[in-house]
Structure 1
Amino acid sequence: MRRPIIVVFFSLFLMAFQALAGERGALFKVSSGANALYLYGTVHAGRPDFYPLEPRIGAAMAAAPTLALEVDSTGDQAAMAATIFKHGMFPAGTPGLPGLPAERRARIEAGLRKQGIEPAMVAQLKPWMLVATLAMVEAGKLGYDPKLGVDAHLAGLAKSSGKTRITELESMEYQATLFNRMPVDDQWTMLEEALNDMESGRHAREARELFAAYEGADQAALDRIAKRLEEDNTVGGKFTREVLMNERNGPMADKIVSLVGRENNAVVAVGLLHLVGKEGVPELLRKRGVKVERVY
């Protein structure tokens, strides 16, 4: 009798170890009445060894009638390019980078060249778009590929299943409009801050910290990142906290409440930073009266 018992306990231990070993990001179960969904925190760039995702996410995706993403990055590429052209570039005839005062222009151009970007090639990009480009450059230096982002991977799983529909909590137009409404001078300041942070190594350090927090499902690290965001009063820091996080989290929470109210077993995947802090989506969901349990 002893051998079967040992085998059973070993199997259970192995299953638990496999689940723990694959835990990444943050996972919550959200319940309302008889319905429940999984809320998963992702990163928008990844590595091949991120996949397959751990078994609970795999099982949730297999059962999900709906996958809700911030934006489906695997969707209409022509429409996305048109949105970026509309909101991320200065109109023809507008000087852009060449129109800056000489000293500021020289400072920014020198910073771009240090990051391997030729200023003439990006002269018509708006500063917020340059900041986004620099973030992708930094992720690439650290070994993370935007094409292997977790959101894109989940979208691929949904499409390959043939039975999980994809819905968007936002739109590319909405996200680009948020950036574009920032005063242009503030955008240039945010770009200068980003270039300074890249030169000092702070940008890489904080990006590495976020990816490590995702890879280890490290709640303590996420709490530290949330605290830093709350205290960052640079132009870029305030914009990230007040607009890119707090302003978007409320509408996201409303749509998640609506989704779990009408449908069972959906999966919602949003950027990991939307799930941290007192203004994060999990806390906002609790304030809206739904049950939120942290899985990891």
Structure 2
Amino acid sequence: MTVLLRPQGLTALLMGRFGNALLWLLAALHVAALSILLMTLFTISEAGAAENGDVTCGGKDILVDMQKTDPAAYAALVAEAEKTPNGRGTLWKIEKEGKQPSWLLGTMHLADPRVVAMPKGAKEAFANAQTVIVESDEITDEKKATGSLLAKPELTMFLDGKSMTDMLSKEDVAKLERGLKERGIPLNAVMKMKPWILSSFVALPACELARKAKGAEFLDMKLANDALKQGKHLVGLETVAEQLTAMSELPMTFHVQSLIEMLDMGDKMEDLMATMIDLYLKGEIATITPMMKSIDPTKDKNSDDGYAAFEQRLITDRNHVMADRADHYLDEGGVFMAVGALHLPGNEGVIELLRKKGFTLSPAN
């Protein structure tokens, strides 16, 4: 049963307790490798998810009630979002004089049919493209993705004899075991995995796990596979190892705490995920981060500093990598580029970085 909470109740429950988990949920939207891991490692949880079989997601958009019950807080949230450059729209046209137009799509790494459907104009843009760019082209080849993971086992596994349970209290071990069991994952099968791998299972709602178990492709994977089927040139901007390295460079304490906090959130995570998806479908990308921050209004300066460090490594650094590596292909024209939507907005977002490289970008939706 899904627990639907009023904004005040949700804030009271989350206040000061779930800061790391909220950041990790943002990370899950940024790093396609997490979805790749779910697909690659799904033999662990496929039976449980398939048995449940429910692909109808619960959750409630917390901003709908916030507009009624706390309009001042909602107005402040919207005002913060409006300060962010390029914060609206998920499909952008990329132009350069003398070149065929290209397109930039902000994605969510989900198999939700509403997300996979893409905004108006995206299908046509994809059909006309000669080159398709995604975060990682390894998402089209399970063996390649697995090989990439096995080449650097330190990114996914404890190699020093430790296990996840060594870092937790008995109470938290029991909590982790229950949370994984609900997702069809036995703790003994994954206890040697690093916490960010376990978090990739815990972060997504059961409906999304069920979709993946039934073979549904998340948006980026579908685009990459369709590109290959249609004979288009497929380009990956990052490797799975690079994406996981970015995650692993955040402190271990951050990841362990995030994992436990997400388990504590329970059904409330469905409300957060539902809100993020609704904002994405409306193209209100810049509202996602202030929405997440507003859930913990008591955050202190140290937590702001923590978010800044997180944002630098998981978002800004990778924005530059994406823009630099896409530059050559975009200069040729006829490209359809798809990366996580939260990489688009901001002064150092992919849109502004591409403008600095001489491209003209305008919202197409």
Per the shorter chain, which TM-score range? Answer: 0.7 to 0.9
Q: Out of 98, 110, 115, which is 1:34 matched to?
A: 98
Offset at residue 151 of structure 1 (A):
0.9
The gaps in structure 1 that reach 5 residues or longer are: 1-24
- State the match for 1:209 in structure 2: 275
Mark the CA change 1:69 to 1:140 in structure 2 (over 3 Å): closer, same or farther.
Answer: same
* CA pair 121-47 structure 1, distance change in 2 beyond 3 A: same
Q: 1:126-275 counterparts in 2 under 5 A?
A: 126-137=194-205, 140=208, 145=212, 147-162=216-231, 164-196=232-264, 198-199=265-266, 201=268, 203-214=269-280, 216-219=281-284, 222-228=285-291, 233=303, 237=307, 240-261=310-331, 263-275=332-344
In structure 2, the CA distance between the partners of 1:195 and 1:144, relative to structure 1 (3 Å rule), is same
SS for the counterpart of 1:155 is helix
Deviations 1:200-251 (A, max 9, x none): 61x322221222223x3332xx222133467883898556522221110111
**Matched letter for residue 142 of structure 2:** Q
Give 2:353's match in structure 1, choosing from 278, 284, 287. 284
Contact persistence 2:91–2:119 (CA under 8 A):
no
Rg: which structure is higher? 1
User: What's the Cα RMSD here?
Assistant: 3.0
Q: Counterparts of 2:216 and 2:251 in 1: how far apart (Å)?
A: 30
Mark the CA change 1:227 to 1:54 in structure 2 (over 3 Å): closer, same or farther.
closer
Q: In structure 2, what residue type is equivalent to 1:95?
A: K
Give me the whole-angstrom Cα distance separating, in 2, the residues matched to 1:89 and 1:112.
18
Is 1:72 the counterpart of 2:137 in the alignment?
A: yes
The CA distance in 1 between the partners of 2:247 and 2:266, in whole Å, is 24
Aligned counterparts of 1:41 and 1:98: Cα–Cα separation in 2: 37
- Rounded to whole Å, the distance in 2 between the matches of 1:236 and 1:190 is 13
State the percentage of identical aligned residues: 25
TM-score (norm 1): 0.76
CA contact (8 A) 1:72 1:168 kept: yes
Does structure 2 retain, via aligned residues, the 8 Å contact 1:61–1:157?
no
1:211/1:55 CA distance change after superposition, 3 Å: closer
Give the secondary structure class of the aligned counterpart of 1:277.
coil
Per the alignment, do residues 178 and 61 of structure 1 end up closer, same or farther by CA in structure 2, a change over 3 Å counting? same
Q: Deviations over 1:23-44 (max 9, x none)?
A: xx70001122222310001111
Whether the 8 Å contact between 1:193 and 1:236 is mirrored in structure 2 is: no
Distance apart, 1:53 and its partner CA = 4.5
Q: Per-residue deviation at 1:52?
A: 5.4
C-alpha displacement at 1:184, in angstroms?
A: 2.5
Size of the alignment, in residue pairs?
262
Looking at structure 2, the residues matched to 227 and 272 of structure 1 have their Cα atoms a distance apart, in angstroms, of 15
